[in-house]
Amino acid sequence: MIQNWGKKYIVCVFVVVCGWMVAFPAGAAQSSSLHSVSGETVSIAVLNNFPPFSFSVRGKIVGFTIDYLDLLSRETGMTITLVPGKWEENLSKFKNGDVDAITAISHTLEGNRTPGSQPRII
């Protein structure tokens, strides 16, 4: 039951974020206090085995998350470098600072017991 709720939560958050992006498109209300990310490069660890969000098809990473990151890149002018891998690999790369961000991460009770496990949120 809890595992099923987690999947529904992820889908719900994804839908809300996509709806928010449609309702308030990037650039519609620019503020001089916003930091411009145009031209910056960000490396993001993505899962290569988490359909329909991110998965590999014939060596190419695809899925909803990838589509969203492509849109984010186009709208902001930021270059996003995808670093596909399995969960354990991605988490290790993120903790070691080898990537700037990680997708498909959530708050868990296990994370509460792990010292220094505060995620960086982008």
pLDDT tens across 40-63, in order?
899 999 999 999 999 999 999 999
* Residue 117 pLDDT exceeds 70: no
* Residue 19 pLDDT exceeds 60: no
Q: Domain 40-105 is in which class?
A: alpha beta
CA distance 49 to 29: 37
Tokens representing 56 are 């590999």
CA distance 115 to 95: 12
Query: What count of residues does the chain have?
Result: 122
pLDDT value, residue 2:
46
Cα distances (Å, whole numbers) of residue 114 to 3, 18, 35, 117, 119: 21, 31, 32, 6, 12
**Where are the domains positioned within the chain?**
40-105
Phi/psi of residue 57, each to 5°? Answer: -130, 115
pLDDT band with cut points at 50, 70 and 90 for residue 86? very high
